[in-house]
Amino acid sequence: MKSPTRQAPSATSGVVIDKRRLLRDLNAISRIGIGDHGGVTRLVFSIKELRSRQLLIHLMRQAGLTIHIDRIGNIFGRLNGESGRGPAVLVGSHLDTVLHGGKFDGTMGVMAAVEVVRTLKENKVKLSSPVEVVSFVGEESSRFGYSTLGSSLVAGEVRGGDLNNAVDAQGTKLEDVLASMGIHRRNLRSLRRDPSTVKAYLELHIEQGPILEAKKKPIGVVTSIAAPTRFKLLLTGQADHSGTTPMEMRKDALVAASEVIVAVEAICRRYSRMEKGRVVGTVGAMKIEPGVINAIPGRAELSIDIRSITAASKKRAVRLVQRRIHDIARRREIRADILPIREEDPVPLDTRLVHLLQECCETRSIPYEVMPSGAGHDAMQMAKIAPAAMLFIPSRRGISHSPLEWSDPEDICRGTQLLLDVIVRIANEKI
């Protein structure tokens, strides 16, 4: 996409982030949960994830921010503006990771936000509005299948029905974890933040895709976020003896699952081009029972994630996939149960902020790409209660959710400096 020509750019704030300090702290937090192959595992509510939160609290305290932690564990570190009151500019991301993920997804955005705010404080930059660093709990769906948990609670977007099928691999129910923190179906909206207290939400994130690198652009200005439809599929056939059951008499749940997996790929490929809605579909996890060499699989449980940048193309792909599932099950005489996890529509980001971000890039003569996001982010929940915007920096070879995830320090620092410019403008301007 081509960036529109804009008017004369305004000046930058003039203050400069401390690159060494930013990279040092990003490295330090990335060591929490690091594994043998350089991958980072900080699943939500795990000991490692809690330790990363402790380090963040320590950094916020050192920076002299006023800390508030809500009941789910979202952390807010506030720098008051001139009046100390009024709606705040929120800036942040998440610290939890996928299983064997990278160092940058989410974490880079939180650490960048800390660096921005401490730079503003040290330099006594005049701010009309308060600025709050935020770290949201459980953005990743890797543990419970449920994404953007903390920001969804802050936006008042978690519904009781969402919790029905949110269970981790050990059988722990998300609903029970929430109950242990005093969050129940009856008070799911009690963590909702009053929209009048949020002036805007900003998130700096790695792209997690190949576009910026391919186009040699150091910054992406995000216009919208693709949202997933997620469900579990339970296929129930008949477990039986692998030596005595003739092929034509089997009800093999795993063979049916294999057909489903291939169908998800084929259907989503049909609509994968940008002009067809950039549909993507993934079967990311599967459990088979009994799961031994000498028994026909009687049960298969699959997790299915289908996304698109348009609601209509996602709905069409989901409909086709589900129809195919029922065809396969009927033909193979097995039972198929579809258990919904979450259904969301793609989220447009705030147009005025998109323009402001473009202006800030132009002020610094930074080439940028205006683009949608294929990955989900906390910004898609925050957009429901406040004007929200996102900046991307390049991901090497577009790889993410992998130990190979990498972004150049230079890109991280450039993105953080740009984020500072943006925050100062939003804090001091009427938007």
The answer for residues whose C-beta is within 8 angstroms of residue 274's C-beta and 6 or more apart is none
301 binds ligand GLV (CB under 6 A): no
* Interacting partner of 376 out of ligand GLV, Mn ion, none (Cβ under 5 to 8 A depending on kind): ligand GLV
Site for ligand GLV in 124-183 (CB under 6 A): 140-141, 147
Site for ligand GLV in 186-245 (CB under 6 A): none
The answer for residues whose C-beta is within 8 angstroms of residue 237's C-beta and 6 or more apart is 250, 251, 252, 253, 256, 296, 297, 298, 299, 332, 334, 335
Q: Which of residues 149 and 300 has its CB atom nearest to ligand GLV in the complex?
A: 149
CB of 97 to Mn ion, least distance (A): 7
Classify residue 48 by its DSSP letter.
H
Asked if 305 and 228 count as a contact pair (C-beta separation under 8 A), the reply is yes
Q: Contact letters (x/-) for ligand GLV, 317-356, by CB under 6 A? A: ----------------------------------------
CB of 172 to Mn ion, least distance (A): 21
* C-alpha span between 264 and 281 (Å, rounded): 6
Closest CA to 60 of 130, 125, 110: 110
Q: Which of 77, 220, 376, 403 binds ligand GLV (CB under 6 A)?
A: 376
Q: Which of residues 117 and 280 has its CB atom nearest to ligand GLV in the complex?
A: 280
Q: Which of 106, 145, 297, 346 binds Mn ion (CB under 5 A)?
A: 106
Q: Which of residues 97 and 313 has its CB atom nearest to ligand GLV in the complex?
A: 97
301 binds Mn ion (CB under 5 A): no
39 binds ligand GLV (CB under 6 A): no
The answer for residues whose C-beta is within 8 angstroms of residue 366's C-beta and 6 or more apart is 218, 219, 414, 418
Cα separation of the two ends of the chain: 25
The residue type found at 268 is: C
162 binds Mn ion (CB under 5 A): no
Q: Contact letters (x/-) for ligand GLV, 96-135, by CB under 6 A? A: ----------------------------------------
CB of 277 to ligand GLV, least distance (A): 17
60 binds ligand GLV (CB under 6 A): no
* Interacting partner of 213 out of Mn ion, ligand GLV, none (Cβ under 5 to 8 A depending on kind): none
Label residue 292 left, alpha or beta by phi (over 0 means left) and psi (-120 to 50 means alpha).
beta
CB of 212 to ligand GLV, least distance (A): 17
CB-based burial label for 86 (10 Å; 0-12, 13-18, 19+): middle
DSSP helix/strand/coil, 407: coil
Q: Which of 174, 325, 375, 383 binds ligand GLV (CB under 6 A)?
A: 375
Classify residue 7 by its DSSP letter.
-
CB of 140 to ligand GLV, least distance (A): 6
For the CA atoms of the chain, what is the radius of gyration?
23
105 binds Mn ion (CB under 5 A): yes
Site for Mn ion in 38-97 (CB under 5 A): none
How many CA atoms are closer than 13 Å to the CA of 353, on its beta-carbon side? 27
Token digits of residue 170: 């050990």
CB of 236 to ligand GLV, least distance (A): 28
- The answer, yes or no, to whether the previous bond of 290 is cis (omega within 30 of 0) is yes
Q: Binding residues for ligand GLV, per CB under 6 A?
A: 140-141, 147, 375-376
Q: Binding residues for Mn ion, per CB under 5 A?
A: 105-106
